[in-house]
Amino acid sequence: MSQTLSGDNVTDSIFTWTFTANSGDSWGGTLVDDSTRYVVNSILSTAFGRYTIVAAAPQDTDLSPFGLDEGRITVSWYRDSSGVFLVTRNGEGVTAGTAGLGSETDAAWNGVAWDSFGSGGADQANPVDLPDSFFTWTFTADTGDVIQGTLLDDASNWNAGDTLRTGFGTYRIDTETPYGRDLGNAGVEGTITILSYTDFHADIQFTLETGASGPAGYGGFGSEWDRAWTGSAWVPVGQGGALQADRQPDRVFNWRFTASNGDYYEGTFIGHSTAFAVGDTIDTANGRYLIQQESPYAGPISTQGLVWVFRYYDASVNEMLRTYQFNVAGTASGTRGLGSEYDYAWDGDEWDDFGVGGIHRASVERNNLFGWTFTANSGDRYSGWLIASDEAYAAGDTVPGAQGSYLINSEGAWGGSAGAGTIYTTSYVDAGSGRSFDTYWWSVAGGQPSGRGGFGSESDYIWNGSEWDDFGVGGIHQANYTINTLHAFSFTGTNGSRYTGWLVEDSTRYAVGNTIATSQGSYRITWEGDWGGTQGRGTIWTDSYFDASSGRSFGTYTWTVGGGRPSGLGGFGTEYDYIWNGSEWDDFGVGGVHQARYTINTLHAFTFTATSGDRYTGWLVEDSTRYAVGDTIATSQGSYRITYEGDWGGAAGRGSIWTDSYFDAGTGRTFATYSWGTLGAQPSGRGGFGTEYDYIWDGDEWDDFGVGGLHQANVTVNTLFGYTFTANSGDRYTGWLIQDDTRYAVGDTIATSQGSYRITYEGAWGGAAGKNSIWTTSYFDAASNRTFDTYWWSMAGGQPSGSGGFGSEYDYVWNNGAWDDFGVGGVHQVKVEMRVMIGWIFRAASGDAYTGLLLEDADTYAPGDTITRPNGTYTIQSETATTRTDHPLGTIWTAAYYDAGTTQWLNNTWYYGVYNGLPSGRGGVGSEYDFVWNGVRWDDFGMAGAHQVDVVRSPGGEVFG
């Protein structure tokens, strides 16, 4: 079948196509043709199947000049209906036809010969039966379990060494035995058997239900299925590790790992008697494990392989270190037995990791004190001290850097508290001047470090005669000693005003007669002389100001009032100062950006009348040209009116505003203001109209007004309300509230998320407390049916419990030895604790046991409860109500110890027996720690069985039940 080709002047595309035959075979490749010929998903049917365009890559040009004519077709792949991909002879780079879809011809390898195909499906390839092989394989699960077996499959599917990953582990082809032919009916391809199953933790092979003799599946890898006998049950195994068997762990082993350097660490792990016995050793590249002790265990399968490490011994310093996982986190250090442990030991300044069969080892570091000198490429140098590991450096060592190098001068012992990496800089030599300088951190700050990260982290300063100049970071920063001089200057603005002053600067920077221009004028240097003061380079003073418009000269604020203080620290352009212009301090400086202006101020009386009818009066100091009598100034809330103007000779500056009275239109009452009447004629603003902000006493509080009427006072009458808050839990509390008489009425309810308030009383209020003051007088606890006095009402003498109305109350009641909080609309509610004394017993996995008492809340435990720990189980035996408050909840006593080895009860514990009932812990079960006499010494026990007694005297014969 051929296609009609288009002209050569149309842009082309490279199309990707597939052909699907009616037989189920398929093949595909690429086609060069006009871009307009096809679109993606175009379909072209033939008598034997159909072509589909699956992708298009427009080229924006005609491809003929590049040897790619329209109609050129290639074949990339061939897939048989059985799902097998066959190798094609030509491949994607060779032309298979030149007339478009239907012109392709190629051949595929069928296992014996090249078989032709193409022409729109008129010709199709057919694979012959491939020869078979017999494979042996091993599956290693991620858990460590190992399955081995055999597989019959096409020889071409696998080679020895091939691997196949599943979600649970990896298959590996161990061997291949080729048959050289297809077995046909003599053997079904995909037949798979399981020959053995080895459990990682138990280190034994399980018996297989098939007896390792029959097929376990017929679908190749992943289809195998058998059952393994674990010693207690037949458990399914196979299917690519999705099914795995585990033996019930039956032992807790105590072990020690001794590293090749003499360090050792000890602990326990849960495992199997089939895998280990006392005395067994396991060698690693870094040391040896020794099984020291074993005891029976009957826990769940999920605990097998759990490893705990109790302690670490550092041989280099003969010191035992505590471990993190067991002693701090209370968790296991590994989950796959010996060699999986990974933990940390406290080496004195950090948690140092160790474990994994000695690959990681902890070490208590010993630091030394090193004296050093850094010499920069410029010739400058500085010296100091460094604290580092004794193995880090030796006297004579050099440490090079980009800007110079460090030389180790000395090494000595270090016994201080500062850690490794702490560095000090004690002196600096400037090569240019030949002068030596003390450093800031060593000499001024009293021997403080200049860094914490060793060489290259030091950062310090020297006083170079005018400023603190930085140095350090391996010479990246170097100090520079210069000589400063004092310059007198005059700045003349473009408006004719001018100011004078003094500047400390580098002697090479300016000379007499120099001018320095700015956008607003220019500086001129009028004098230069020696400088011996302490102020550094860039310090500038301004001592006088001349106002051109008035012809007056003024002293400056910093020079006259401030006693000669600088007005800037960054040289010309940083000076910023003030003059008193007759009414205020007017700023100038920054190279003429700010210039002072001399004006005359007057005093204006005003009245502000609000749109509501309220009004207030007062006084304003302002420029004489700003307002006149009769002027009105409107705002969004009303308007100001100028009622008087007169001379002003006071000290207050322009914009100062006072408010002296307020008239409330609603009540017809006039009030004195807070700033004028109470504070004694203090201004209520500094920025003129709209900045005034003041208060009047409206009968119960200071009510604000001002800001051009944005704030207006409201005279209200307060009343006293009685209320009851009833919580959803049934608890309730009562009290009093002061509020606006219009806010609530008797019978009103106010709901919250936790309950509701109900108004029970309303009456007149004449006290001093203001609106929203709230008191809580009593609390009723529904669960215990008890009523309590409150702290603020009964103990503190009737103090409010809040000042923001309902929801702000917060109070306490005395509840079994502690103040318990309540309030905030029921967010906090009292819980009356019911203390009980609990009798308990701890049964260790070793068979030992001990008993005692626990003071706890009644809700914590119930008789029959159990609390499981790695070394045994607590059982709650009894619970009795108690009124004891001499100890906090969680206090625990240990009364007696049972030793399984001698079947004896030891009833005289150290704290409870010898010390007349002292507790052995304060943190509940697991915090107990006590001693009993084992016949030779006081032997410790407790902490959930982490410590157990070893009795060395003769058995007593008592049987533990």
Question: Domain ranges in the chain?
Answer: 12-121, 132-238, 251-355, 367-472, 484-589, 601-702, 718-823, 835-942
The CA-based dihedral angle spanning residues 581, 585, 591, 595, taken in that order and rounded to the nearest 10 degrees: -40
Looking at residue 87, its pLDDT comes to 80
* Nearest partner of 125 among 73, 180, 87, judged by Cα: 87
Residue with tokens 């012992």: 413
Model confidence over 321-333: pLDDT tens digits?
999 999 999 999 9
Q: Please give the C-alpha separations between residue 380 and each of 59, 337, 479, in angstroms, as whole numbers.
A: 66, 59, 8
Greater model confidence, 317 or 571? 571
- What pLDDT is attached to residue 184? 53
More confident residue, 698 or 230: 230
Give backbone dihedrals phi and psi of 166, rounded to 5 degrees, phi first: -115, -175
Question: In 3-state terms, what secondary structure has residue 557?
Answer: helix
- The two structure tokens encoding residue 918: 């002292």
707 Ramachandran zone, left/alpha/beta (phi>0; psi -120 to 50): left
Confidence bin at 955 (pLDDT 50/70/90):
very low
* Separation CA 927–CA 75 (nearest Å): 77
* 212 has a pLDDT exceeding 80: no
Q: What is the C-alpha to C-alpha distance for residues 633 and 609, in angstroms, rounded to an integer?
A: 11
* Local confidence band at 736 (pLDDT 50, 70, 90 cut-offs): very high
Running DSSP on this structure, what letter comes out for residue 324? Answer: H
Give 759's strand partners. 723
861 vs 882: CA distance, rounded Å: 15
Beta strands 351-355 and 342-346, pairing class: antiparallel
Dist CA 251 CA 255 (whole Å)? 12
- Express each pLDDT in 29-49 by its tens digit: 999 999 899 999 999 999 999
Is residue 652 pLDDT above 70, yes or no?
Answer: yes
- Residue 106 in contact with residue 95, Cβ under 8 Å? no
Burial tier of 475 (Cβ tally within 10 Å: 0-12, 13-18, 19+): buried
Q: Give the C-alpha distances (Å, rounded to integers) separating 72 from 15, 59, 62, 513.
A: 11, 15, 13, 88
Distance CA 358, CA 132 (A): 48
pLDDT higher than 80, residue 85? no
Cα–Cα distance between 74 and 32 in angstroms, integer? 9
Q: What is the DSSP string of 11-45?
A: -EEEEEEEEEETTS-EEEEEEEEETTT--TT-EEE
CB 197 within 8 A of CB 237: yes
Close Cβ partners of 8 (under 8 Å, ≥ 6 residues apart): 62, 64, 70
Residues shown for the chain: 961
User: Rounded CA gap, 595 and 849, in Å?
Assistant: 91
The 3 state secondary structure assigned to 130-179 is CCEEEEEEEEEECCCCEEEEEEEEECCCCCCCCEEECCCEEEEEEEEEEC
pLDDT tens digit string along 163-191? 999 999 999 999 999 886 656 555 577 88
CA distances from 756 to 590, 721, 726, 734, 807 (A): 63, 15, 6, 12, 10
Task: Provide the pLDDT confidence category of residue 417 given band limits of 50, 70 and 90.
Answer: confident
- Which of 630, 631, 628, 635 lies closest to 609, judged by CA? 635
Q: What is the pLDDT of residues 373-414, one digit of tens each?
A: 999 999 999 999 999 988 889 999 999 999 999 999 999 998
Provide the pLDDT confidence category of residue 299 given band limits of 50, 70 and 90: confident
pLDDT tens, residue by residue, 570-604: 999 999 999 997 667 999 999 999 998 777 789 99
Selected residue with higher pLDDT from 251 and 532: 251
Amino acid 232: pLDDT: 86
At 854 the pLDDT is 96
Least trusted range by pLDDT, from 205-209, 432-436, 820-824: 432-436
Name the residue type at position 150: T
Identify the band that residue 960 occupies on the pLDDT scale cut at 50, 70 and 90.
Answer: very low
Q: Which of 479, 475, 505, 667 is nearest to 571 (CA)?
A: 505
What would the mean pLDDT of 122-132 be, rounded to a whole number?
Answer: 76
Q: What is the pLDDT of residue 181?
A: 63
Helix, strand or coil, per DSSP, at residue 777: strand
Q: What's the CA gap between 296 and 273, in Å, rounded?
A: 9
285 band by pLDDT with thresholds 50, 70 and 90: very high
DSSP 3-state of 442: helix
For residue 466, pLDDT over 70 is answered with no
Confidence grade of residue 7 (pLDDT, cut at 50, 70, 90): very low
For residue 2, pLDDT beyond 70: no
CA-closest candidate to residue 54, choices 80, 24, 77: 77
The pLDDT assigned to 700 comes to 66
Contacts of 777 (CB under 8 A, 6+ apart): 734, 735, 736, 790, 793
pLDDT at 624 over 90: no
Separation of alpha carbons 714 and 613, rounded Å: 12
Rounded CA-CA distance 497/487 in Å is: 21
Q: Which of 193, 196, 162, 160 is CA-nearest to residue 178?
A: 160
For β-strands 601-610 and 132-141, DSSP reports them as unpaired
Answer yes or no: are the C-beta atoms of 420 and 404 closer than 8 Å: no
Q: What DSSP string runs through 674-699?
A: IIIIITTS--SBSSSTT--EEEEE-S
Longest dimension (CA), the chain: 127
Using the predicted structure, report yes or no on whether residue 613 has a pLDDT greater than 90.
yes
Find tokens 């060489």 and name the residue. Answer: 455
More confident residue, 442 or 9: 442
Query: Average of pLDDT values for 487-497?
Result: 96
901 contact partners, CB below 8 Å, separation of at least 6: 847, 848, 950, 951, 955
Q: Is the pLDDT of residue 884 over 80?
A: yes
User: Residue 783: is its pLDDT beyond 60?
Assistant: yes
Give the percent of the chain with pLDDT over 90: 70
More confident residue, 671 or 885: 671
pLDDT for 667: 77
Summary mean pLDDT of the chain = 90
